[in-house]
Amino acid sequence: MLYTRSSQLFAEAEKVIPGGVNSPVRAFKAVGGTPIFVKSAKGAYMYDEDGNRLIDYINSWGPMILGHAFEPVVQAVIEKAKLGTSFGMPTELETQIAALAVSMVPNIDKIRFVNSGTEACMSAVRLARGFTKRDKIIKFAGCYHGHSDSFLIQAGSGAITFGTPNSPGVTEGTAKDTLLARYNDLENVAALIKANKNEIAAIIVEPVAGNMGCIPPNKGFLEGLRQLCTDNGILLIFDEVMTGFRLARGGVQELFNITADIVCFGKVIGGGLPVGAFAAREEIMNYLAPLGPVYQAGTLSGNPLAMAAGLAMLQSLDADRAIFQRLEEKTAYLAAGMEKVLKANNVVFTINRIGSMVSVHFDAAPVVDFQSAAKGDNETFKKFFHGLLQEGIYIAPSAYETWFITDALTYDDLDFTIQAVDKVSKTF
């Protein structure tokens, strides 16, 4: 496959956009080469500017769970656009999507809509700080909660107690209020809480991690976090921007029957338009302006096009009770097929999977946290990525990303993918 026009377009983009992209991982830095420019997409496929068809395993990093250009979403957006695209005033649509979301997700009474997952997590933490009147938060190395300052803290060696900024521009003042813990390590969390008694407002966690590959929580991990939070007056924030409306109707809270205090959403909830949201029980949500003292706002929040897309998406998921089971079966089929051919070709690998999230790691040891995820062989991953691309299969251009299975994928697509993995892994 040739990517001539994409390369030309990238060169043009680089002149006027930093790195040619509006979000860094799109730039192919981790795998080499130049990014592919998309012209259109439908169902499980994307069509690029060179006329290639790609089977898409990223699906806009999660939102397109029912496939690209899903008809009910497209129709809803077109109809709403004709009636005006933004008012900065309330619309009935906002109440409709809020009511539906609240009915689908356990343990939430009220929800507020914002424009991205980043905003949702940032606002959730502010709310938790305001509510508890405490400053510090605990986050886990390798968990991503968007690009706001408090979250751009990563575990370097010895950075277990106090975070060090990993992006210039994040002040040390901000970094010191973010404590880092190791994913799936309860003792580590308990020690941090003990060392910062009555200072921690919230623990924010991806209840199934998806930003260091797919890493499900060990048995007891989420239960343990819940208990530690309850015992210490800390709010538990589930960042379900990736997992919400994907792993189950009610997200990970439903899947594992664990109660979070605040839940963040993004990706699927917007049906492919820029939407985020955060939700909690009434007592916490009423702490937000205009009812309460914690300020949070947005000119385009609850935008009618975004709400129309999100509502159509949630209605479609709500109406199809078999969807999550069907997605799980497709993903299990793909994972089993890949496992078989990778083994046959003597590749060293680990596949992690839960529901419709799956990741391939080129290391034999179990991948349970950021440290183990970082051990994967990136040279093999590069060959894997570019090999699949030549076969017309698009996975994320980074070894730390989850694949997102969409309902639009057929078993023929999955078989084709498994054959391509076989072919490519013979060249390692």
Ligand X SMILES: *Cc1c(COP(=O)(O)O)cnc(C)c1O
Q: In this structure, what are the phi and psi dihedrals at residue 329, rounded to the nearest 5 degrees?
A: -65, -40
Binding segment toward ligand X, per CB under 6 A, in 117-125, 133-141, 184-192, 314-322: 117-125
The verdict on whether 411 is a catalytic residue reads no
- According to the binding rule CB under 6 A, does residue 401 interact with ligand X? no
Among 35, 146, 207, 217, binds ligand X (CB under 6 A): 146
Among 56, 185, 206, 413, binds ligand X (CB under 6 A): 206
User: To the nearest whole angstrom, how small is the minimum distance from the Cβ of residue 191 to ligand X?
Assistant: 25
Binding segment toward ligand X, per CB under 6 A, in 141-149, 173-181, 314-322, 410-418: 141-149
The verdict on whether 267 is a catalytic residue reads yes
- According to the binding rule CB under 6 A, does residue 304 interact with ligand X? no
CB–CB of 306/114 below 8 Å? Answer: no
CB–CB of 202/236 below 8 Å? Answer: yes
**How many residues of this chain interact with ligand X, rule: CB under 6 A?**
15
CA-closest candidate to residue 228, choices 178, 193, 253: 193
Interface characters, 224-243, with ligand X (x: CB under 6 A): ---------------x-xx-
Among the listed residues 45, 144, 394, 400, the single catalytic one is 144
State the burial class of residue 269 (Cβ atoms within 10 Å of its Cβ: 0-12, 13-18, 19+): buried
Residue number, 20 or 117, with CB nearest to ligand X: 117
Among the listed residues 267, 400, 407, 413, the single catalytic one is 267
User: To the nearest whole angstrom, how small is the minimum distance from the Cβ of residue 242 to ligand X?
Assistant: 4
**Which single residue brings its beta carbon nearest to ligand X?**
117
Q: Which two tokens stand for residue 281?
A: 């029980």
Residue number, 266 or 304, with CB nearest to ligand X: 266
Which residues on adjacent β-strands are paired with residue 54? 46
Rounded to an integer, what distance in angstroms lies between the CA atom of residue 123 and that of residue 108?
A: 16
Among the listed residues 185, 239, 261, 407, the single catalytic one is 239
Please give the residues from 93 up to 112 whose contact with ligand X meets the rule CB under 6 A. Answer: none
What is the side-by-side strand order in the sheet with 350-354? 350-354, 357-361, 403-404
- According to the binding rule CB under 6 A, does residue 398 interact with ligand X? no
- According to the binding rule CB under 6 A, does residue 116 interact with ligand X? yes
- According to the binding rule CB under 6 A, does residue 118 interact with ligand X? yes
The verdict on whether 375 is a catalytic residue reads no
Binding segment toward ligand X, per CB under 6 A, in 38-46, 177-185, 205-213, 323-331: 205-213
- According to the binding rule CB under 6 A, does residue 121 interact with ligand X? yes
Residue number, 118 or 356, with CB nearest to ligand X: 118
User: To the nearest whole angstrom, how small is the minimum distance from the Cβ of residue 137 to ligand X?
Assistant: 14
State the residues that interact with ligand X by CB under 6 A: 116-118, 121, 144-146, 206, 210-211, 239, 241-242, 266, 276
Residues identified as active-site = 144, 239, 267
